[in-house]
Amino acid sequence: MLIQQKDFMFETLAIGSRWSQYGFNKCITTTESAKKYILEYFPESLVYLIPPIIGDHFIPIETPEKPYIAISCRDRAVQRKIISEFYLKFPHLRWITFRDMIQMNHGEFARELSECMVSVWVDDESTFGTFPLESMKCGVPVIGKIPNTEPDWLDDNGFWTYDGNKVVDLLGAYIQGWLDGIGLEPAVLEKMNEAHTPYTKDNHTLNTLSIFNTLHTQKIEAINKSLESIKSEEE
């Protein structure tokens, strides 16, 4: 099994049934919290961890940030609500533009994101959440609602809230500070760097090769045991 969103685990599984009933005894997921959750309900499974990659094309720009807000919400209605509330609550900031970060190729996405002064993320169903880490790697601070499953990387590396109704207030306060020339504290910048650092292509490759080499070895051992059993029966 490959589980990237743990909230979708039971969508195609008959109520009360287990993976093992259908011949599945191994699983790959993306976070420690998801692994813990899976083992809680399927303790007989072998669960492996392969976190995603935050690509090297996400880099900070050398020029000053532009008055753009990158926004990424799973629910389009929530995204529209945030933008509407922001302009109504802070009418003097109507000249600031929101960038909808969808339907872009990787290069365009990274370039558009790096130009923004802040990003907004709301995705209750997310298990990992690449958008905040991509923002941090671009040097763009994140304002967001903490999803139902807290990501492994979550720390004092952004402006987080459990209440979605507070996102607009956090955004307004941050932008006002940005306009007044108030920058991020060094501790926050350090936490942002620490958050995305483990998710490199090299680490991803090492994890993937290690896991699939283990699966390959286990399969060979199982085949050899079956062959030995057949030979014993023939004798």
CATH (domain of 149)? 3.40.50.2000
82 occurs within a structural domain:
yes
The answer to whether 59 and 136 have CB atoms below 8 angstroms apart is no
CA angle, residues 28, 30, 35, in degrees to nearest 5 = 70
Closest residue by Cα to residue 28 from 207, 228, 219: 207
**Sequence letter at residue 97:** T
Structure tokens at 49: 């961890």
pLDDT of residue 108: 92
User: Domain tally for the chain?
Assistant: 2
d(CA 197, CA 165): 31
80 occurs within a structural domain:
yes
55 occurs within a structural domain:
no
3-state DSSP call for residue 58? coil
97 occurs within a structural domain:
yes
Residue 78 sits in the same domain as residue 135: yes
Residue 43 sits in the same domain as residue 78: no
57 occurs within a structural domain:
no
3-state DSSP call for residue 14? coil
d(CA 223, CA 234): 17
Q: Which domain holds residue 163?
A: 66-196
pLDDT of residue 193: 94
The single residue listed with the structure tokens 């008959």 is 14
Residue 93 sits in the same domain as residue 121: yes
**Which of 162, 181, 196 is where one domain is finished?**
196
Residue 147 sits in the same domain as residue 87: yes
Positions in the chain whose pLDDT score sits under 70: 234-235
3-state DSSP call for residue 70? strand
The answer to whether 90 and 119 have CB atoms below 8 angstroms apart is no
d(CA 190, CA 231): 61
Residue 93 sits in the same domain as residue 39: no
Residue 42 sits in the same domain as residue 75: no
Q: In terms of C-beta distances under 8 Å and separation of at least 24 residues, what long-range contacts does 183-192 make, across chains too?
A: 184/141, 187/156, 188/141, 188/156, 188/157, 188/158, 191/155, 191/156, 191/157, 192/136, 192/139, 192/141, 192/157, 192/158
202 occurs within a structural domain:
no
pLDDT of residue 119: 97
Residue 28 sits in the same domain as residue 76: no
Q: Which residues pair with 49 in a beta bridge?
A: 29
Residue 37 sits in the same domain as residue 76: no
46 occurs within a structural domain:
yes
Global pTM? 0.86
